[in-house]
Structure 1
Amino acid sequence: MARTILILGGTSDAHALAGRLAARVGVRVVSSLAGRTGNPRLPSGEVRIGGFGGPESLARYLEETGVDAVVDATHPFAARMGWNAAEACALAGVRLLRLERPAWQPGPGDWWRMVADWPQAVAALGDSRRVLLALGRQELAPFAALTRVWFLIRSVEAPDPMPPFAQAQILLARGPFAEADEIELLRQNGIDTIVCKNSGGPTDGKLAAARALGLRVVMRARPARPDLPTVADPAAAEEWSLRPAD
């Protein structure tokens, strides 16, 4: 009988894990995407799109689908899904692993201000006048109150609805972005501050560019998530997924 692995999330690591597991004989891999983007990049294997309706509904899905193990590979800021997955797996008696890249840490030459939420990020902008918002389309509204600031808003999809910014330009683009390209973008637009989330992972182009240009970075810290067994790369998650249950 095939082993069924449920992968939560559409991150690049989730895609990599799905590809590795889909190539295995005797493994059924199902990826669950939130459905927040209109044209998501689909991973290998089976795909379901949309929420589960809470931990109880997810637990029923795990039992009815015969899921053997779950890998939570959602974005570090998808904390609610993380808590729901932990509760659901406990209810259904299914193993759960967190696949998450290590958080970014400031290094020599970095000028970072860490904040816990978006109101703190707004307050931290201080005398900033030209700001790159690199945080997705759903967290923009608090920044619209800063009428003296010009914003370059980078997003995969256009905000809908668009908050009432006094001065803003939308840049639709999907990363990753190379450091050299980021330096050119920041210079062309006269950016003095970057606002982003601590998504983590390999060296990030915009952060390397900010260091090279001496720009400020206002970065939101990751929210709390359940205390789970955690690995940092898809290969380790694959090995765990194929391990027999205790």
Structure 2
Amino acid sequence: MKVLLLAGSGEARKLAELLANEPSTEAIASLSGATREPGKLPLQTRVGGFAGAEGFRKWVVEHGITAVIDATHPFAHRISKRTAEICASLNIPYLQVLRPEWRPGAGDNWIFIDHEEDASAYIPDAKTVFLATGRQTLDRFSGLVGRRLICRQIDPPDRPFPFEGGDFLVGRPPFSVSDELNLFRELKVDWLIVKNAGGDRSRTKLDAARELGIPVLMINRPPQPDGTTVRTPEEALSWLRALS
């Protein structure tokens, strides 16, 4: 069996470790290249896009892929949708590894929105806003002019902040709750904006916001493709073994 692992999440890293030790399975990992220096995976790894849907289809066929496991970020929905559709057309088994969404608990003050552009309707002028949403969708927050914006990203910025009133903050996870508490206090954060990515490791910013009484704008996940979904790398490995 020859497996393509679409990586980019913590679950993908764990699954790569499992696949590297799986007998009779050859696995290739694929990273989009969004992070400049991603951690090395214990599998043969390609980095970069496939040049669109037809490029992906051609690559899968030419490399004799017999199953695809999609363990990309929950907000990489365009990649997931394209992959599911092409796998269906080629009759290649497709599985999505999708961690559970975050849910608010006692003491949380969350407002759910569907789009980044909706944020300006909730956050008053002159507030300090911490964007834990990455750089790829930063332009969508241009309506927040008049607020102080701080966008955290893994890589050093390669361009100026795209609109007035914003600054980049470079930081590589994981961050502890204590780290986030100290940071939010130092920056005097009034609002936190987060994509509902789920996961325990990245939840610390939400725990810190709850402790400090900071309201959160939580961006809902986009629709996911139809198909088989599991939550953990171990479940993905069980699915793969059942195909044999």
TM range (shorter): over 0.9
Partner of 1:70: 68
The correspondence of residues 28-177 of structure 1 with structure 2, limited to 5 A, is 28-127=26-125, 129-177=127-175
Stretches of structure 1 lacking an aligned partner (at least 5 in a row): none
What do the CA deviations read for 1:191-239 (whole angstroms, capped 9, x no partner)?
Answer: 0100110001226100001111111101110001112111111011111
Identity over aligned pairs, percent: 38
Residues 97 and 228 of structure 1 are in contact (CA less than 8 Å); yes or no, is this contact kept in structure 2? yes
1:151 shift after superposition: 1.7
Aligned length: 243
Question: Which moves more between the two structures, 31-40 or 186-195?
Answer: 31-40
Listed as ranges, the gaps of 5+ residues in structure 2 are none
Q: For 1:180, which of 178, 181, 191 is the aligned residue?
A: 178
Moved more, 127-136 or 92-101: 127-136
3-state SS, counterpart of residue 80 of structure 2: helix
Aligned to 1:207: 206
* TM-score relative to the length of structure 1: 0.93
Task: Name the CA shift for 1:242/1:128 in 2 (closer, same or farther; >3 Å).
Answer: farther
Structure 1 residue 166: Cα displacement: 2.9
Segment of structure 1 superposing worse, 232-241 or 118-127: 118-127
CA contact (8 A) 2:161 2:167 kept: no
Residue 117 of structure 1: how far off its partner (Å)? 0.8
Q: Deviations over 1:167-211 (max 9, x none)?
A: 333211111211111111111111010011000122610000111
Give the aligned residue type for 1:218: L
> Would the aligned equivalents of 1:128 and 1:193 in 2 still touch at CA under 8 Å?
no
CA distances 1:138-170 after superposition (whole Å, capped 9, x unpaired): 111233443421122210123433334433332
Q: Are residues 164 and 45 of structure 1, via their aligned partners in 2, closer, same or farther at CA, if it must alter by over 3 Å?
A: closer
Amino acid at match of 2:138: L
Give the structure 1 partner of residue 238 of structure 2. Answer: 239
TM-score by length of 2: 0.93
| Structure 1 runs of 4+ with >6 Å offset | none
Match of 1:22 among 20, 23, 26: 20
